[in-house]
Structure 1
Amino acid sequence: MLDVCPSCRIQAPHRQGRQLCPRCGGPLTLLDDHGRIVAPRPTAPAPTPQPGRARPRPAPSRPLLRWTADRPAGARPAPTPPRPPVTARRPSYRGVPRWGLLDSPVVPEADEPRSGDSGTAMTRTFSLVWYTLVAAAVVHLIRYLVAVVNRSTPIPMWIDLLSGAAVLVFGTFAFAGMLLGLVALVRWLTAIRAHAYAEADLYDPRPRRQQLLLAGLPLVNVVGAPLLLSEAARCGSDSAGAADRIRRIAIAWGLVNGVALIALAYRIGGWFSDSVQVHADGLAMVTLSFAVSAVFTRWASPRLSTVLTGLVGDHDRERRLVVA
């Protein structure tokens, strides 16, 4: 039998003479082994309320017992068998393992400019531009030789038409190639500048639109592009060596643009003149301009890619030791 307190819901084996709950002081109820009330205990007299104190609230009625369901013995899952001990051999290597000794390169975000990709694209574009400039220079030289021979000896009409058409076609190809080279140069310049300031953890003071104008406008970029490169070179430790390389490329680029301006002036003068000599001089200057531009493209292509070496080039990958 059990002594059960209906107020605080505690139970204990029955003991003769125990009528009040030791926790709350309420009356106990005697239950048999099947949970039936054997005999209710006499209710303890309610305490007399003292003046100035609130009357105690009656305890809420709660169920006498709470039954918990459990699976029968036949429906219980079988105990999990113990895991067998691990007897596998530890891996061994005949030589020092190479995996894990080199840190994997950090892949930039998709929207960030990558100087390596733009530098490779610029080198390939400059190679294409070099071929178009060389072809245009050769065709213009042939056209000049035809004009020189024509001064003393008549030439067939088809040679004159063929040389004139070749000058027009290859000149157009060379102009398109120079535009592509300018676009590749602008992309590389903005990318390498952004990379340089990011490596130095600095904020680029020039907005993107200003960089595009300084690097993309003809004749303006003769001064603007070296200026942008010089500002990016100051972010690295080898700023003096980079400034010297940038100065040599800028001087050569200025000479190429000067020859191109002279050739353009001769060409425009030939449009308003009937002199054969003026036309011949203009053709010779255009040929010289194409040849100088081709030489400069071939010379500057590898030097532009390494003009900021040590600043945004391939960094030495960090090495770490691991437990073999």
Structure 2
Amino acid sequence: MGARTGSVVQPCARCGSRWAVQNKPLYWCPRCRGVLLSPGPVDAPAEQRNYRWVVRAPGRRGPVTRPALRADRTPTPHYREIPTWGLRDRPAPPPAAARRGRWDRSPEQVLRLLRVTALLFLIAACAELGRYLILLRNRTALIDPLVLGLSDWSVWIAELVAPLAALGAAIGVVGWLADTRRAAFAAAGLRDPRPRWLLFTGCLVPVVNLLWPGVYLTELVRARAAGPRGVRGGAPYALRAVRIWWLVWITGGVMVAIGIGFRFTHTLQAQANGVIFAVYTNLVAVAATALTVWVMHAVDGRDLRGRVRVPKRWVPAAGPARPVIAPVEPEPAAEPAAEETEPVKVAAR
């Protein structure tokens, strides 16, 4: 529909028709029910218009029509049930008991042995500290031979029993590591690339065991997270536990090497420094043993105290039931204030 030059028209945003404004502007196009733009002179320059023209393909000057549906079009995708993303958190079924080898122990036995080992290293640290205090006392006074003999026997026994307990605990931990790795890779549909003999070699051979245990544990955590039943939210927690344990483990290995070097010294001051350094080494061994318990719990989805860690589930929450900003309501008209009258005082006769 055309309009004479100079008249005020409303173009249609859909079909491009221009409609002359008679009494008041319209909102919808009478032809295609498209949105009508604001009124303006038909011959107004581009910089004075509050709309712009869109170039159409040749041959499409009329109203835009919707294409007809084809018979071979696939049906609209839909869900057969209401999606429950993040609203359902079923606990993973307990893993089946894996076959244990000759050197393997159950996780409960390994944890008990680790606790006993930590206690023995703590006793060894106390024995070394007692010997250091005796050395300090010996600078100004003689020591009773009985006290000196008890100190020597306590140090020798503690330094002999604690490493043996640590060796037994290490064998049990490596057996647990091998079984857990095999179960984790099997749950992910894979096979453990590390054979059992390689795990024992990398974890028990001195110097080599400073590097490979951390690698094996990191592979285990990532395999657990990649499995169909793995909780991805627990992977960062377990990786953090492994890295802290790895750092303390390397520190303890370096301190053991330095402590062995102190035993080849001959001066009294160097031997005294070796005694106090042995106290620190035993305390680091206690920390490494406790962190080993933490790593085993973290890999199994538990916290330091052995309780099952429930992953946090973030779900979209609806808005507040009532608006945050109250609607603006007109204030009621103020009523005229009543004139206050002073009470009449009547004088008593």
The answer (yes or no) to whether the contact 1:263–1:286 under 8 Å persists in 2 is: yes
**Does residue 248 of the first structure (1) align with residue 244 of the second (2)?**
yes
Which residue is equivalent to 1:291? 283
Out of 154, 160, 164, which is 1:172 matched to?
160
Which residue of 234, 242, 246 corresponds with 2:222? 234
Residues 141 and 287 of structure 1 are in contact (CA less than 8 Å); yes or no, is this contact kept in structure 2?
Answer: yes
Equivalent residue number for residue 263 of structure 1: 259
CA distance in structure 2 between the partners assigned to 1:232 and 1:121 by the alignment: 21
- Scaled by the length of structure 2, what TM-score is found? 0.53
**Paired residues of 1:214 and 1:225 also in contact (CA < 8 A):** yes
CA contact (8 A) 2:238 2:295 kept: no
Q: Post-superposition shift, 1:308? A: 5.2
The aligned counterpart of 1:224 is 212
1:144 equivalent in structure 2: 132
Relative to 1, partners in 2 of residues 1:106 and 1:265: Cα closer, same or farther, differing over 3 Å? closer
Equivalent residue of 2:258, what SS?
Answer: helix
Preserved contact between residue 123 and residue 302 of structure 1 (Cα < 8 Å)? no
Q: CA deviation at 1:132?
A: 0.6
2:278 paired with 1:282? no
Comparing 256-265 and 131-140, the one that deviates more: 256-265
**How many residues are treated as equivalent by the alignment?**
206
Cα separation, 2, equivalents of 1:130 and 1:142: 18
Shift in alpha-carbon separation, 1:154–1:129, aligned structure 2, 3 A: same
Check the 8 A contact 1:126/1:181 in 2, yes or no.
yes
Q: Partners in 2 of 1:108 and 1:169 — Cα distance?
A: 37
C-alpha displacement at 1:260, in angstroms? 1.9
SS in 1 for 2:106: helix
CA RMSD across the alignment:
3.0
Alpha-carbon deviations, 1:27-64, whole Å to 9, x = none? xxxxxxxxxxxxxxxxxxxxxxxxxxxxxxxxxxxxxx
Letter in 2 for 1:288: Y
Q: CA deviation at 1:232?
A: 1.9
Partner deviation per Cα, 1:274-317 (whole Å, 9 max, x = no partner): x211211111111211122113322441333223539xx9899x
Deviations 1:122-148, CA, capped at 9 Å, x for gaps? 211110001111111111111111111
Secondary structure of the structure 1 residue equivalent to 2:283: helix
Evaluate the alpha carbon distance shift between residue 108 and residue 296 of structure 1 in structure 2; reply closer, same or farther with a 3 A threshold. Answer: closer
After TM superposition, list the pairs within 5 Å mapping 1:80-119 onto structure 2. Answer: 107-108=96-97, 111=99, 118-119=106-107
- Given that residues 248 and 284 in structure 2 are in contact (C-alpha distance below 8 angstroms), is that contact kept between their aligned partners in structure 1? no
User: Does the aligned pair in 1 maintain the 2:125–2:282 contact within 8 Å?
Assistant: yes
Report the TM-score when normalising by structure 1. Answer: 0.57
SS at 1:192's partner residue?
A: helix
Pairing of 1:127-206 with structure 2 (within 5 A)? 127-206=115-194
Matched with 2:324 is none
Deviation per CA, 1:132-167, whole angstroms, max 9, x where unpaired? Answer: 111111111111111111122111222112211111
**Counterparts of 1:220 and 1:257, CA distance in 2:** 11
Q: Which runs of 5+ in 2 are unaligned?
A: 1-90, 227-231, 311-349
Distance 2:93 2:275 in 1: 55
- The answer to whether the Cα contact below 8 Å between 1:118 and 1:191 also exists between their aligned partners in 2 is no
Q: For the Cα contact (< 8 Å) 1:136–1:167, is it kept in 2? A: yes
Distance 1:153 1:265 in 2: 29
State whether residues 137 and 288 of structure 1, in contact with CA within 8 Å, keep that contact through their aligned partners in structure 2. Answer: yes
- Following the alignment from structure 1 to structure 2, what is the Cα–Cα distance between the partners of residues 103 and 153? 66
CA separation in 2, counterparts of 1:161 and 1:281?
21
| SS in structure 2 of the partner of residue 306 of structure 1 | helix
The aligned amino acid for 2:197 is R
Show structure 1 runs of 5+ residues with no match.
1-101, 317-324
> How far apart, CA to CA, are the structure 1 residues paired with 2:243 and 2:93?
36
The answer to whether the 8 A contact 2:105-2:175 is kept is no
Q: Which structure carries more relative contact order (alpha carbon 8 Å, separation 6+)?
A: 1
8 Å CA contact retained: 1:126, 1:298: yes
What is the rounded CA distance, in whole Å, between the counterparts of 1:159 and 1:198 in structure 2? 58
